[in-house]
Amino acid sequence: MSASRGPFATNMNDLVSILIPCHNAERWVGQAVESALTQTYSPVEVIVDDDGSGDGSLEVLKRFRDRIRLERGPNRGGNVARNRLLELASGEWVQYLDADDYLLQDKVASQMAYLREHPDTDVQYGLVTKEDWTEEGVSRDLQVIPEPRDPWILLARWYLPQTGGPLWRKSALLDVGGWKPNQPCCQEHELYLRLLTAGKRFAYCPHNGAIYRIWSEGTVCHRDKPQTRRQRLAILDRGEAFLRAAGDFTPARQSAFSMSRFQMARMTWPEDRAEAMRIVDALLQSEPGFRPLRNQPGGHHPPASYRMLWRLAGFSVAERAAEWSRFLRRAPTRGAS
């Protein structure tokens, strides 16, 4: 169940628990477990909770029976499984790994080495590669985490990484009550919010070690976009309320929260214009003088023509003009053969 002690280990507090919740991931879970077992870091323990799978996941997992700790129960949801795994973990540090994702071999070693230089950290987050599986093939995209790396700004802009990106201090997770069992989506972001409001310390490690595989449109975030928007907006509202009450809503944080709402309004406009306008109304209540910024981390900013129309006529006029511009660009040129 545990790997032998390696060159990075100094005491039992260095044990890392790699925790894998699994539900109907027969196609992928073997690779996830192998990537956990073949980490160059030691000591690690690998614990898997099969959350009532109805496919062949359990048979795959039984192949690793002598090398992992395996528990099986009825399907109760991903966050309940994550909390159960947290109860079972013996390590001071926790690496979560969804059953359809995997780790690069030096992921844990690189982050644990970094933690030795930053021992007061509670959440040590690194880079994640998104791996898209489509009919056309597999593509990979490194998810950049831009500066400034104020975790409140990164939370607002949705740059804090997917579940497998961080190493989490077990005691910090327990202090905030673990994962919220009934959180339908945006689960790691809701947890990040509670950790930040509890004063837990975040540190960035410039290492790419986790692979986040996108292979299905059946996830809640893809299947129910309105709910995802509602949950994301709720996280922004709670975060802003906390920061304002604490006197920590700096101009840079205000800008990040406002730009996040602005971009959500833009994404919502094609599907639900009334909802988009409600988002903009909330944005302007938070920052009455808001204007879209020219330069944003990650390169997300509207063109000069859009910014000018916003200033002169507001959001809805700017969006209608942007729609018309996109239509003209897509329209075939007259006389083309």
Measured CA to CA, the distance from residue 316 to residue 329 in angstroms comes to: 20
- Region 274-291: mean pLDDT is 96
Lowest mean pLDDT among 160-169, 185-194, 247-256, 299-308: 299-308
241 within domain boundaries: yes
pLDDT of residue 248: 98
**Residue 265 predicted with pLDDT over 60:** yes
Beta bridge partners of 73: 51
- Answer with the one of 191, 215, 239 that is the final residue of a domain: 215
Measured CA to CA, the distance from residue 53 to residue 299 in angstroms comes to: 41
Q: Which residues contact 234 (CB under 8 A, 6 or more apart)?
A: none
- Answer with the one of 185, 215, 245 that is the final residue of a domain: 215
Q: What are phi and psi of 225, to 5 degrees?
A: -65, -40
CA angle at 64 for the pair 63 and 66, rounded to the nearest 5°: 115
The SS3 assignment for 280 reads helix
Distances (CA, A) of 113 to 8, 109, 206, 326: 7, 6, 12, 48
Same domain, 87 and 200: yes
pLDDT of residue 4: 36
Q: Which of 185, 197, 273 is closest to 227 using CA atoms? A: 185
Same domain, 205 and 248: no
pLDDT of residue 85: 98
Same domain, 180 and 239: no
Q: Write the DSSP symbol of residue 142.
A: E
- Region 94-121: mean pLDDT is 96
108 within domain boundaries: yes
95 within domain boundaries: yes
Q: How many CB atoms lie within 10 A of CB 234?
A: 13
pLDDT of residue 135: 85
| Total number of domains constituting the chain | 2
- Answer with the one of 194, 215, 236 that is the final residue of a domain: 215
Same domain, 209 and 293: no
Q: Which of 32, 14, 5, 39 is closest to 113 using CA atoms? A: 14
Give pLDDT tens digits for 220-229.
556 688 999 9
* Element housing 80 (H / E): helix 78-88
20 within domain boundaries: yes
- What range defines the domain where residue 233 resides? 224-330
Same domain, 179 and 265: no
Measured CA to CA, the distance from residue 54 to residue 61 in angstroms comes to: 13
Same domain, 33 and 178: yes
Same domain, 244 and 103: no
Q: Write the DSSP symbol of residue 64.
A: T
Q: Which of 111, 330, 155 is closest to 260 using CA atoms? A: 155
- Region 97-110: mean pLDDT is 97
Same domain, 56 and 191: yes
Same domain, 190 and 253: no
pLDDT of residue 325: 83
- Residue 329 pLDDT grade (very low, low, confident, very high; cuts 50, 70, 90): confident
Question: By the 8 A CB rule, do 262 and 292 touch?
Answer: yes
Give pLDDT tens digits for 166-195.
999 999 999 999 999 999 999 999 999 999
The CATH number of residue 47's host domain is 3.90.550.10
335 within domain boundaries: no
pLDDT of residue 9: 41
Give pLDDT tens digits for 127-161.
999 999 988 889 999 999 999 999 999 999 999 99
Same domain, 252 and 311: yes
Same domain, 167 and 102: yes
Beta bridge partners of 212: 130
- Residue 293 pLDDT grade (very low, low, confident, very high; cuts 50, 70, 90): confident
pLDDT of residue 328: 83
pTM more than 0.75:
yes
pLDDT of residue 12: 41
- Residue 219 pLDDT grade (very low, low, confident, very high; cuts 50, 70, 90): low
**Residue 82 predicted with pLDDT over 50:** yes
Give pLDDT tens digits for 5-60.
343 344 446 999 999 999 999 999 999 999 999 999 999 999 999 999 999 999 99
Q: Which of 307, 275, 276, 308 is closest to 292 using CA atoms? A: 307
Placement of tokens 């959440």 in the chain: 123
CA angle at 39 for the pair 130 and 10, rounded to the nearest 5°: 130
**Residue 299 predicted with pLDDT over 70:** no
* Element housing 236 (H / E): helix 225-246
What letter represents residue 205's amino acid?
C
How far does CA 202 lie from the centroid of its chain? 14
